[in-house]
Every structure is written in structure tokens, then in C-alpha cells.
Amino acid sequence: MTAAAPVHIAGQRLMLDPAGFLVWPAEKLLAVADLHLEKGSSFAAAGRFLPPYDTRETLERLALGLRRWKPRRLVLLGDSFHDRHGCARLPPADCAALTRMLAGLEEVVWVLGNHDPEPPVGLAGIAAEEWRLGPFTFRHIAQPAAMGKPVPPGEISGHFHPKASMPTRAGSVTRPCFMTDGRRMMLPAFGAYTGGLDLRDPAIAGLFPRGGRAFLLGPDRLYSFPTGPLRMLARAPEAANAPPP
């Protein structure tokens, strides 16, 4: 039995699925971030022959979420493909599986990311830099607050691959996580070959100046922890610029 956790943002009830999906039940919407499809073949082109099963693995996990939540809308929050030619490299079997999956949905939104700045060719759905529905704005990279102004509530984003380490009595455990401060929500990366960036990294910490709550992914539940302000160890600014994979 997989337990999703409810959160309230902008007056709306959202569900966080331990597999890494965000669900908005009122709109039958499912959002997922950073699939990085065809990352394996992207590395292979550079001479690192990673096992070529990542796309298949990621799509199988996505299919599980679609079966569980039966959404009408699917929002992919960018970096759905690892590079701009990823869509063209999809193996025929995987491409067919993805096409079937998308055919069952009323609306598919490909938010564009830094890895895939162009809309996928030959796949259902619309592409957008940003997409709004109700109080929510779906974008790939969270926008920093303007000087002195609070962030308007309702931003849902991906890009940073947030992960968090929790101390336990037998050493700390690190997992990908959702991160929210009640105004914005950052999704964990979903792809089979996606690593993570620690919440305390200035790139993420700066977006949550007052901290918030992290939801670490587990096989059948989330583990939630308040984070406090993510003020952390001083790192030199250049390290902050390192883009996540």
C-alpha cells in the first residue's frame, strides 16, 4: 500500500506520491520532473556505454503512476529528454510505449527545460516555457524572488534534482526529495539515471530562504522533515554555479 502525502499550496490540496509524482486531484493532473530519457545513449555517444535500459525503466515507472492516479492531464516539468536529439533516438519499442501512454490522456504539457529546449517531435501534447492552471505556474527552473518581494505562491518546478540527507542513529540516509515552503514546490528528478543535488547547496537553499519541509522518497511512503532555513556551510560561489546533471 503506497501512501501519498497531502500538502496545501495556494489553497489547493496536492498529493505527493513516494514514486516522485505530484498529483492535483481536483484537476486530475499529474506532474513529473526531469525524466532525462535517453541519457544512456547520450553517454554512449561519448564513449561511455551505460546500460541502454534507462528509458524503458523510466517509462515503466511513469506507467505505474498513470495507472495508479488515472489523471486526465500530464505535465512534464522539463528535461524530459537528456539532450535535444534524445527524442529522435528513442528506440522504436520505447517510443511506441510512450505514444500509447500519452494517447490515454486528454492533455499533455511538455514544459521545456535546459536539456530539451525544443518540443519533442512526433509526440502528443503541447510544449511551453511555462504553463498555468488555476493558481499554479508550472516551469522548469524555479524563479528567485524579486528583491524584497515574497514569491507569489503556486510555483511548481523541477530542474535541481533535490535530494536530502537525514541523520539517523545508524548514519545519515540520503534520498531524492520534494521540497516546499508552502509557496513553491520543487519535484525530485524522476529519470532512472538522474542523480541529485543536496538541498543545502546554495542553488537550492537560496530559493527557500526560510526553509520549509522536505519529503524524502521511500519505497512506499514519504519521510517528511522540517528543514529550517537552509543556511549552511559557506561554499565558494563558483561551486553554486555547477548545473545539476
Partner 1 sequence: MPELFRDWFAARGWSPRPHQLALLDAVQGGSSALLVAPTGGGKTLAGFLPSLVDLHENPRPEGMGSLHTLYISPLKALAVDIARNLTAPVEAMGLPIRIETRTGDTPANRRARQRVDPPNFLLTTPESLALLLTLPDAAEMFSGLHAIVVDEIHALAGSKRGDQLALGLARLATLAPEARRIGLSATVAHPGPLRAYLSPTGLAKDVALVQGAPGAPPSLDILLPEGRLPWGGHMGLASMPEVYRRIRGAGVTIVFVNTRAQAELCFQALWRLNDDNLPIGLHHGSLTVEQRRKVEAAMADGRLRAVVATASLDLGIDWGAVDQVVQVGAPKGVSRLLQRIGRANHRMDEASQAVLVPANRFEVIECVAARQAIDAHELDGDPPREGGLDVLCQHILACAVAGPFHPDDLYAEILRAAPYAKLTRKDFDDALRFVEDGGYALQSYDRFRRLFRDSEGLIHIRGPAAARQLRMNLGTIVETPLLKVRLRGGPVLGEVEEWFVSTLSPGDCFIFAGQLLRFEGLDALACLVSRGGEGEPRVPAYAGSRMPLTTHLAARVRGILHDPAAWPALPESVREWLRLQQHASIMPPRDGLLVETFPRGERWFLVAYCFEGRLAHQSLGMLVTKRMEHLGMAPLGYLATDYVLAAWCAFEPQGIERLFEEDILGEELEEWMAESSMLRRTFRNIATIAGLIEKNHPGQEKSGRAMTMNADLIYDVLRRHEPDHILLRATRREASAGLTDVARIALILARARAGGIRHMALPRPSPLSVPALIEEGREWVAGGAEDALLAEAAALVADATDGAEIFGELLAEVTESIPPRGDRDRARKPRDAKRRNSRFIRSAPKNYGAPK
Q: Any contact of residue 206 with partner 1 (CB under 8 A)? A: no
User: Under a CB-based contact definition with an 8 Å cutoff, are residues 22 and 14 in contact?
Assistant: yes
At CA 15, angle to CA 10 and CA 18, rounded to 5?
135
Q: Any contact of residue 245 with partner 1 (CB under 8 A)? A: yes
Q: Which lies closer to partner 1 via its Cβ, residue 127 or residue 162?
A: 162
Q: Which lies closer to partner 1 via its Cβ, residue 7 or residue 75?
A: 7
Report the site for partner 1 in 108-147 (rule: CB under 8 A). Answer: none
Q: Which lies closer to partner 1 via its Cβ, residue 73 or residue 221?
A: 221
User: Under a CB-based contact definition with an 8 Å cutoff, are residues 34 and 79 in contact?
Assistant: yes
The residues pairing with 9 across neighbouring beta strands, listed in sequence order, are 12
* Residues sharing a CB contact under 8 Å with residue 171, sequence separation 6 or more, in sequence order: none
Q: Considering only residues 34, 54, 79, 83, which one is a binding residue for partner 1 as defined by CB under 8 A?
A: 54
CA dihedral 203→190→175→6, nearest 10 degrees, is 90
Residue 126 Cβ, how far from partner 1 at the closest point, in Å? 29
Q: Which lies closer to partner 1 via its Cβ, residue 8 or residue 70?
A: 8
Q: Which amino acid is at 51?
A: P
Residue in 209, 213, 212, 201 with CA at minimum distance from that of residue 241: 201
79 to 98: interface string for partner 1, x by CB under 8 A: ------------x-------
C-alpha cell at 35: 525524466
Residues near partner 1 (CB under 8 A) are 5-8, 41, 43-54, 56-57, 91, 153, 165-173, 175, 180-183, 192-195, 197, 210-213, 216, 218-219, 221, 223-226, 228-229, 233-236, 238-239, 241-245
